[in-house]
């Protein structure tokens, strides 16, 4: 049949169109048996999925792929993922899962999981020193595991460790040589070092170290070793408690002393504080003696990609490689008001508030028969580090306080260390282990000298 003048198709053309439509419908019908290649691909994906489901099962994953340990919630998620993946795999093996696109999507997902597992294995095998760092960075994304938490009077402090919060930690460079260690940075009261107890054992001389990061940095533990090494016949005669918290000002230290430290009945306190108060500088109209112009209610920052950081080690490593110090890692973003700080020396009002805070600690301690060791703050003079413009002014205030309190034990660490041991500084004010040992020795000598001289009765 031919086409007429109106363009109507011939019967032959209509038959050809019907044949094509029928053939197309036959190809796309769900009852069409898969080809041998499709069957092989499906079996491969199912086997692949079964292997991955076993590898992500918590007992295997924690031993070979986890960065140190798994939290309870992570174990639950892994069990669900493992069982779900295993079910899909077995469902496909028995031919119940038919659409090819499902296998294609599953295959791509398995590739991503494999890359993740491979990266984790590489860290554990070739970069064991990075494992603790990567674990901590993931822990920071959990609000309940962050290093700092808000406090009704101290603004913020360390998150106290929980009883039994013990994890296996690989020794750097080791291969399966494990030690038991608490990953938490802080003790049961939220401070650095071993757990605190209110009760003081008989015969123990208790020393409380007050300050900010230059105290939390580690010299109190070395000081305890130094003091006890000189009274070997009475081991553990001295107990040094580290009450330092990074970023604290003299206002924080004062409140902490009155509300916390006193309850531990220390025999000595060491005041090592001078750096952070300089950031409270403000105009005369703006400045407040309680630092409310500078500090705010503690608000942990929002982490947009927290779940990706928890799950993916390659993403975590790349993110911290590109930006080693994201804002949400630091206390400033959560505790300090964002404002422009005046670039000038500290004025009399600002120095006066610092003096008031330090002298109030001394007065309360003296009233309770607690001996006070007052120090100045040593600092680097190396041009590599940005100088803290107010630290010399604070040190002069501390010297003036010492001159007006004859019962103080004064250690001028600034004169003893500044400009003489620049190689011991890690930045403008923080020192390395050898620097902390030097501080501990100077302070220990002063305490020892006081213990060896005849006890003076209070008037």
How far is the C-alpha of 218 from the C-alpha of 430, rounded, in Å? Answer: 10
pLDDT band, very low/low/confident/very high, at 36 (cuts 50, 70, 90) = confident
**pLDDT (0 to 100) of residue 16:** 55
Question: Count of CB atoms within 10 A of residue 369's CB?
Answer: 8
The CA distance from 243 to 256, in Å, is: 8
pLDDT-derived band at 207, boundaries 50, 70, 90: very high
| d(C-alpha 167, C-alpha 68), whole Å | 7
Residue 159, pLDDT > 90, answer: no
Give the pLDDT band of residue 174 (cuts 50, 70, 90): very low
Q: Please say whether the beta carbons of 447 and 428 come within 8 A.
A: no
What pLDDT, on the 0 to 100 scale, is given for residue 273?
Answer: 95
How does the average pLDDT of the chain come out, rounded? 84
The residues spanned by each domain of the chain are 34-126, 193-296+336-452
193-296+336-452 maps to CATH 3.40.1360.10: no
Q: What is the 3-state secondary structure (H, E, C) of 307-322?
A: HHHHHCHHHHHHHHHH
Which has more pLDDT, 269 or 451? 269
Check residue 222 and give its pLDDT: 95
Q: Which residues contact 134 (CB under 8 A, 6 or more apart)?
A: 67, 123, 313, 316, 317
CA distances to 205, 404, 449, 458 from 453, in Å: 15, 22, 6, 15
- Distance from C-alpha of 341 to C-alpha of 357, rounded to nearest angstrom: 21
How would residue 365 be classed by pLDDT, with cut points 50, 70 and 90?
Answer: very high
Phi then psi for residue 222, to 5 deg, are -70, -35
Backbone phi, psi, residue 154, to 5° = -95, 0
| Stretch among 67-81, 103-117, 409-423, 443-457 having the lowest mean pLDDT | 443-457
- The pLDDT assigned to 178 comes to 37
**pLDDT-derived band of residue 383, with 50, 70 and 90 as boundaries?**
confident
* pTM over cut 0.75: no
Is 402 a residue whose pLDDT tops 80? yes
Most confident of 5-9, 212-216, 361-365, 448-452: 361-365
C-alpha–C-alpha distance, residues 221 and 209, integer Å: 10
Least confident among 5-19, 144-158, 319-333, 424-438:
5-19
Per-residue pLDDT band for 180 (boundaries 50, 70, 90) equals very low
**What are the pLDDT digits (tens) for 249-265?**
999 999 999 999 999 99
């Amino acid at each position: 049949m031919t086409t007429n003048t109106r363009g109507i198709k011939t019967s032959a053309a209509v038959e050809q169109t019907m044949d094509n439509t029928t053939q197309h419908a036959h190809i796309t019908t769900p009852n069409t048996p898969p080809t041998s290649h499709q069957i092989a691909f499906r079996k491969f994906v199912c086997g692949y999925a079964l292997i991955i489901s076993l590898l992500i099962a918590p007992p295997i994953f924690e031993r070979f792929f986890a960065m140190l340990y798994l939290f309870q919630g992570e174990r639950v998620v892994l069990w669900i993922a493992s069982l779900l993946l295993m079910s899909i795999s077995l469902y496909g093996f028995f031919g119940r899962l038919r659409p090819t696109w499902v296998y294609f999507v599953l295959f791509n997902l398995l590739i991503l999981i494999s890359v993740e597992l491979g990266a984790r294995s590489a860290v554990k095998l070739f970069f064991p020193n990075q494992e603790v760092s990567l674990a901590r960075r993931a822990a920071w994304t959990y609000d309940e595991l962050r290093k700092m938490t808000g406090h009704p009077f101290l603004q913020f402090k360390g998150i106290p460790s929980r009883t039994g919060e013990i994890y296996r930690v690989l020794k750097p460079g080791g291969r399966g040589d494990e030690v038991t260690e608490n990953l938490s940075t802080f003790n049961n009261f939220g401070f650095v070092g071993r757990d605190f107890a209110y009760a003081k054992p008989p015969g123990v001389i208790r020393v409380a170290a007050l300050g900010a990061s230059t105290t939390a940095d580690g010299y109190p533990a070395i000081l305890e070793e130094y003091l006890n090494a000189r009274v070997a016949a009475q081991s553990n005669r001295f107990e040094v408690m580290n009450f330092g918290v990074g970023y604290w000002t003299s206002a924080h230290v004062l409140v902490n002393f009155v509300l916390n430290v006193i309850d531990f009945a220390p025999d000595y306190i060491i005041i090592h504080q001078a750096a952070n108060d300089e950031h409270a500088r403000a105009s005369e109209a703006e400045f407040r003696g309680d630092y409310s112009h500078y500090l705010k209610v503690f608000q942990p920052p929002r982490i947009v990609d927290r779940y990706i950081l928890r799950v993916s080690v390659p993403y975590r490593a790349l993110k911290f490689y590109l930006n080693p110090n994201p804002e949400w890692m630091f206390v400033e973003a959560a505790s300090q008001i964002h404002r422009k700080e005046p670039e000038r020396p500290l004025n009399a009002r600002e120095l006066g508030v610092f003096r008031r805070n330090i002298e109030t600690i001394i007065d309360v301690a003296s009233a309770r028969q607690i001996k006070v060791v007052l120090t100045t703050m040593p600092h680097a003079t190396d041009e590599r580090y940005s100088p803290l413009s107010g630290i010399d002014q604070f040190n002069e205030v501390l010297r003036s306080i010492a001159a007006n309190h004859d019962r103080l034990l004064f250690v001028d660490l600034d004169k003893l260390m500044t400009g003489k041991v620049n190689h011991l500084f890690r930045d403008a004010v923080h020192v390395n282990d050898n620097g902390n040992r030097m501080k501990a020795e100077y302070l220990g000598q002063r305490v020892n000298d006081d213990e060896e001289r005849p006890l003076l009765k209070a008037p």
